[in-house]
């Protein structure tokens, strides 16, 4: 089962590397969004620090949604997804491998580029560290929740819009606690441990329930 998980993960990463434009689109979109706000609201340090938490998380949320429609679409079109359903291995494990590949290609780059965003918004060093930790905990949740929406809209016309309507309300808690952690990290004497613990709890819940829910949605959409 573990070897099958690794095979699916490696396969998706190799296929993504053959279409690097799709991978870079997410990263460039994130960079463009976070760079436009300083041009619109000004370069005053206090203003940029105040809006940074919300801007970073909204940009990350929207960037993670760009590739959701393609998460299962190609496998659904060429029949690979149907073969995955027929394999003796649990479909939830195979789905989790695809979600992990999605996060490695869309979520992890956002975590790695966070220090540059912190410099652009004049964030202190401890806030940049908190931002990276919050993104490291929160972006996998976005991928796993988005996978459920992507599975439910397989084969439907206008699936991208439907995915947005399905998953955006579920993203709100991650957005609130992720941006709250960054905002409170800039206040003296305020700990952000509670925010990070809540994001960690959400991540555990997503790991437990999201693969099962996504597998069920894939079966429903394939029938």
C-alpha 170/C-alpha 73 separation (Å) is: 22
Please give the helix or strand (H or E) that residue 77 lies within, else none: helix 70-78
Q: Distances from the Cα of 164 to the Cαs of 60, 67, 84, 103, 169, in angstroms?
A: 14, 12, 26, 18, 9
Higher pLDDT, 206 or 69: 206
**35-80 pLDDT per residue, tens:** 888 888 877 888 888 999 999 999 999 888 887 877 887 778 777 7
Instruction: Provide the pLDDT for residue 80.
Output: 79
3-state secondary structure of 208: helix
Contact 40, 154 (CB under 8 A): no
**1-43 pLDDT per residue, tens:** 778 888 888 988 888 888 777 778 888 899 999 988 888 887 7
The residue among 158, 147, 141, 6 whose CA lies nearest residue 61 is 141
Residues 6+ apart with CB under 8 A from 164: 65
Residue 156 pLDDT > 90, yes or no? no
Contact 146, 61 (CB under 8 A): no
101: domain range? 2-222
Structural domain count, the chain: 1
Contacts 24+ apart (CB under 8 A), 115-118: 117/34, 117/52, 117/56, 118/52
């Amino acid at each position: 089962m573990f070897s099958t998980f690794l095979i699916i993960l490696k396969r998706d990463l190799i296929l993504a590397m053959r279409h690097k434009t799709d991978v870079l689109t997410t990263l460039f979109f994130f960079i463009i969004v976070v760079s436009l706000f300083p041009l619109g609201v000004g370069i005053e340090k206090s203003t940029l620090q105040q809006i940074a938490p919300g801007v970073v998380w909204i940009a990350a949320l929207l960037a993670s949604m760009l590739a959701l429609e393609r998460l299962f679409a190609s496998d659904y079109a060429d029949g690979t997804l149907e073969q995955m359903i027929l394999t003796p291995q649990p479909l939830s494990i195979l789905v989790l491998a695809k979600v992990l590949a999605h996060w490695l290609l869309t979520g992890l780059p956002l975590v790695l580029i966070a220090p540059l965003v912190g410099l652009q918004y004049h964030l202190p060093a401890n806030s940049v560290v908190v931002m990276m930790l919050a993104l490291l905990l929160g972006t996998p949740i976005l991928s796993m929740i988005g996978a459920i929406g992507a599975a439910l809209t397989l084969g439907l016309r206008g699936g991208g819009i439907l995915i947005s309507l399905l998953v955006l309300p579920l993203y709100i808690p991650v957005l609130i606690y992720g941006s709250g952690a960054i905002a409170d990290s800039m206040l003296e004497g305020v700990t952000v441990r509670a925010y990070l613990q809540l994001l960690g709890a959400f991540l555990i819940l997503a790991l437990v329930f999201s693969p099962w829910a996504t597998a069920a949605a894939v079966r429903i959409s394939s029938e």
